Structure 1
Amino acid sequence: MNISLKPEHEQFIQAQIASGKFANADEVIDLAFKLLEKLDNEYIQWLEQTRQKVEVGLAQIERGEVIDGEVVIDRLREKLRKAREAQE
């Protein structure tokens, strides 16, 4: 497989090699793919966790276990107010 890189990507790879972190372009690209794979796996995990949370939330709604929207907004405003006070 032949891949054409944008000039800025080539410059980045050369800079990584020049920094001494990598011996050659293959090492840079190998790490880039490992990081991409890790990112993809983390996204898949996040997506599954989010789907599970939505299912739990929908089940709670069906059982009538809900909080009035105004109460939620008031609680969030109070948390925000406290966070601002803590920063001062």
Structure 2
Amino acid sequence: MITYFIMGKIPPQIQTESMIKYDHEKPLVDTRMSELERLTITLTPELSESIKAAVNEGDYASASEVIREALRDWKVRRELRQEELAALKADIDQALSEVAAGQLAEFNAKRIVERARKLLAARKRSG
């Protein structure tokens, strides 16, 4: 069964169904209650109000759902940062190996500045 949440505080003659539909027969998260851990968190009043507003506007079924989505997004960003850091460390290791093998390029600051200016000018031209 799908339950439709109606947007609130709109005159009845123009009320429309929300595009968000919650299927209460199928849980949003495939986790049994015995597998959940309860945590208590402290939020600023602004964050608390934002969460309440998201629930009251029908964007989320509960405050817990808002927090779960925020944590999933945080987890994805964290994993991406860790992947980027691993790639950076691999680049550093490769550079150190090249230095140890004597594969060096002469440092020429003027050439680097000239190249940077050309790249910047090309970006400005391309818009």
**TM bracket (short chain):** 0.7 to 0.9
Structure ranking higher in helix proportion: 1
Q: 2:68 & 2:41 partners in 1: Cα distance?
A: 14
Structure ranking higher in strand proportion: 2
Question: What does residue range 47-58 of structure 1 map to in structure 2 within 5 Å?
Answer: 47-58=85-96
Matching of residue 7 in structure 1 with residue 38 in structure 2: no
Q: Out of 57, 69, 81, which is 2:108 matched to?
A: 69
Q: 2:117 & 2:55 partners in 1: Cα distance?
A: 50
TM, length-normalised to structure 1: 0.82
> Aligned AA for 1:66?
A
Unaligned 5+ segments in structure 1 are: none
> Aligned AA for 2:87?
Q
TM, length-normalised to structure 2: 0.60
Dislocated runs of 4+, deviation >3 Å: none
Structure possessing the higher relative contact order (Cα contacts under 8 Å, 6 or more residues apart): 2
Q: What percentage of residue pairs aligned between the two structures are identical? A: 21
More divergent stretch after superposition (65-74 vs 5-14)? 65-74
Call closer, same or farther: CA 1:73–1:57 in 2, change over 3 Å: farther
Q: Out of 18, 27, 49, which is 2:65 matched to?
A: 27
Structure with the greater alpha carbon radius of gyration: 2
Matching of residue 86 in structure 1 with residue 126 in structure 2: yes
**Count of matched residue positions in the alignment of Structure 1 and Structure 2:** 87
